[in-house]
């Protein structure tokens, strides 16, 4: 499966979720390739500091990914693509490469608007590749807040599946990134349990 993490707004957690999805799939015995397609190169930078290389990370911020994905993916069970912000030819190429486009959304009106732009891009691509699936995941949610509850209602208007398992706003994600690790090193932590449930739900979409 090829999972692409995209949103036209930066800072929504695409890189964090890409890395953790790749790490969790790898931990299940899957052969995983993480493609850093964001010119900023955050996933690639993280890989330079990581503790152990249990999956492959390559940098490829090129608008030809959809033409090369079959060759890139041939030795792997799963490919995870960490996409760039903004509407670009690169984003369109990533969508055409994907089986599932995952749109992380923070609980804020600006994120919902940006998600709508990404959904429109996916619908454009589905004209050429109807089998592309798309879903939304609420990321960096602060529990017991009105905006955390209301964002799900706002996203429903986009008529795209919203995953049931949200990812909370947790310091553990930033701390693990700084040390080249993931929250999955602490399997019993709340952050790790959220990632595991998220990946379980994501895999059921295939």
Q: How far apart are CA 99 and CA 65, in angstroms?
A: 13
Query: What pLDDT sits at residue 37?
Result: 95
Taking Cα atoms as reference points, which of 125, 124, 81 lies closest to residue 103? Answer: 81
Tell me what the mean pLDDT of segment 132-147 comes to.
Answer: 80
Torsion of Cα atoms, 72 then 196 then 130 then 74, to 10°: 20
2, 82 Cβ separation under 8 angstroms: no
pLDDT of 64 > 90? The answer is yes
Q: How far apart are CA 35 and CA 22, in angstroms?
A: 10
Tell me what the mean pLDDT of segment 181-203 comes to.
Answer: 91
pLDDT of 72 > 90? The answer is yes
pLDDT of 26 > 90? The answer is yes
Percent of the chain with pLDDT over 70: 96
Tell me what the mean pLDDT of segment 94-114 comes to.
Answer: 89
Query: What pLDDT sits at residue 179?
Result: 82
Q: How far apart are CA 206 and CA 200, in angstroms?
A: 11
Q: How far apart are CA 23 and CA 115, in angstroms?
A: 25
Query: What pLDDT sits at residue 147?
Result: 59
Q: Which carries the bigger pLDDT value, residue 191 or residue 88?
A: 191
Query: What pLDDT sits at residue 145?
Result: 57
pLDDT of 150 > 80? The answer is no
Q: Where are the domains of the chain?
A: 2-195
pLDDT of 189 > 60? The answer is yes
pLDDT of 87 > 70? The answer is no
pLDDT of 165 > 60? The answer is yes
Which of the four pLDDT bands, split at 50, 70 and 90, describes residue 144?
low
Q: How far apart are CA 44 and CA 88, in angstroms?
A: 20
Candidate CATH numbers 3.30.300.280, 3.40.50.300, 3.65.10.10, 3.40.50.1460; the one for domain 2-195: 3.40.50.300
pLDDT of 196 > 90? The answer is yes
Which of the four pLDDT bands, split at 50, 70 and 90, describes residue 52?
confident
Query: What pLDDT sits at residue 143?
Result: 66
80, 32 Cβ separation under 8 angstroms: yes
Which of the four pLDDT bands, split at 50, 70 and 90, describes residue 146?
low
55, 34 Cβ separation under 8 angstroms: yes
As a whole number, the mean pLDDT across the chain is: 89
């Amino acid at each position: 499966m090829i999972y692409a993490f995209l949103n036209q707004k930066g800072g929504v957690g695409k890189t964090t979720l890409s890395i953790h999805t790749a790490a969790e799939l790898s931990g299940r015995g899957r052969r995983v390739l993480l493609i850093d397609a964001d010119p900023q190169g955050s996933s690639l930078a993280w890989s330079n500091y990581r503790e152990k290389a249990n999956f492959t990370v390559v940098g490829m911020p090129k608008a030809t990914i959809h033409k090369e994905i079959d060759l890139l993916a041939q030795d792997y069970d799963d490919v995870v693509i960490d996409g760039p912000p903004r509407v670009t030819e690169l984003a369109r190429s990533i969508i055409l490469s994907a089986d599932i486009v995952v749109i992380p959304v923070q609980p804020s009106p600006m994120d919902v608007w940006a998600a709508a732009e990404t959904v429109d891009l996916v619908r454009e691509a589905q004209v050429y590749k109807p089998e592309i699936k798309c879903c939304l995941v609420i990321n960096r949610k602060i529990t017991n807040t009105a905006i955390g509850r209301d964002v799900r209602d706002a996203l429903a208007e986009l008529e795209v599946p919203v995953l049931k398992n949200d990812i909370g706003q947790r310091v553990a994600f930033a701390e693990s990134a700084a040390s080249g690790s993931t929250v999955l090193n602490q399997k019993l932590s709340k952050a790790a349990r959220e990632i595991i449930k998220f990946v379980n739900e994501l895999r059921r979409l295939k």
